[in-house]
Amino acid sequence: MLLKSDCFVCLYTQSLRATKVLGCEEECKKKVVKKTAALLSSLNEKQTPPEAASLLYPLISNITGVQDLYEKEKERSIKKAQEVLKVVKEELEGALDKLDLAIRLSVAGNVIDFATEVTFSLEEEVKKIFNVKFAIDQKPQLIQQLAKSDEIVVLGDNVGEHLFDKLMIETFKEQFPHLKVYYFVRGKPVINDVTLKEALEAKMNEVCEVVDSGVDTPGFVYSRATKYAKELFDKAPLIISKGMGNFECLESRKDERIFYLFKVKCSVVAQRVGLDVGSLICGKNL
């Protein structure tokens, strides 16, 4: 999905939001937004929003001197996710359809996002997720594919959300012990995307193989991935893509193997999939 006019506004807003999160002084804020404006005016429009973001965030880091801009926010997201998970784990244990609920919870975790025009409450999303109807619901087809696959790739998205992904993977492994799972993380900190650091702190390596994709954008750009990540991606019979950033980078591939799991959190993606902001999606060939 290539840049739209609204994406430029969103990127500009993201730059200002980052300075506020960091508590920057006014002069620093002005410098960031001016540099952002110059960058936006020079962008190649034939690229995805995550590719554009991969240029924006290093620019902000260079000006502020902070490499992991959302480090403290990510720590808060982890604590909040841990608190919510204490409750939902009990619900999952007693669920009649554990696989369906585990997938639902993983999508609920997708609301933890610092780069979107609309924000949602994690607690409220989890409360609703047990019964809410998905706008596109191919969970049964995904579960059928899981049963037939010997290995899958899960493309991670955001910090905090990755704890819900871990719960989903644990449930997959419980139901399908033969299944080998590869969990892809970003190659470096970008916005609040999950990296090897957070994945290992969460001990995700105990339930799957965590793979540093090498990708430096808030979405899986295949050309930027490591050789190993490309090999795993190419051979996987099933790929679960979490979040809008991964969708924006992969939807044009029309890959039958990819199931997209995310909540629609911006008008551009909403228009692309023909749904309202706030819609929940589990589906492929969108």
User: Which pLDDT band, with edges at 50, 70 and 90, does 112 fall under?
Assistant: confident
Together in a domain, 89 and 164: yes
Q: What is the CATH number of the domain that holds 274?
A: 3.40.50.10880
Does residue 117 surpass a pLDDT of 70? no
Together in a domain, 55 and 179: no
From 64, 79, 100, give the residue that closes a domain.
64
Q: Which two tokens stand for residue 171?
A: 């449930």
| Domain membership of residue 52 as a residue range | 5-64
Cα separation, 160 vs 77, whole angstroms: 5
Q: Are 189 and 71 in contact (CB under 8 A)?
A: yes
Q: Are 109 and 165 in contact (CB under 8 A)?
A: yes
Together in a domain, 245 and 193: yes
Together in a domain, 51 and 171: no
The letter for the amino acid at 2 is L
Q: Which two tokens stand for residue 169?
A: 């993977």
The letter for the amino acid at 82 is Q
Together in a domain, 39 and 167: no
Together in a domain, 190 and 277: yes
Count of domains observed in the chain: 2
Together in a domain, 40 and 135: no
Q: What is the mean pLDDT of residues 106-117?
A: 85
Q: Which two tokens stand for residue 108?
A: 């609920």
Cα separation, 99 vs 114, whole angstroms: 28
Q: Are 168 and 103 in contact (CB under 8 A)?
A: yes
Nearest in space to 262 (alpha carbons), one of 235, 246, 244: 244
Does residue 118 surpass a pLDDT of 80? no
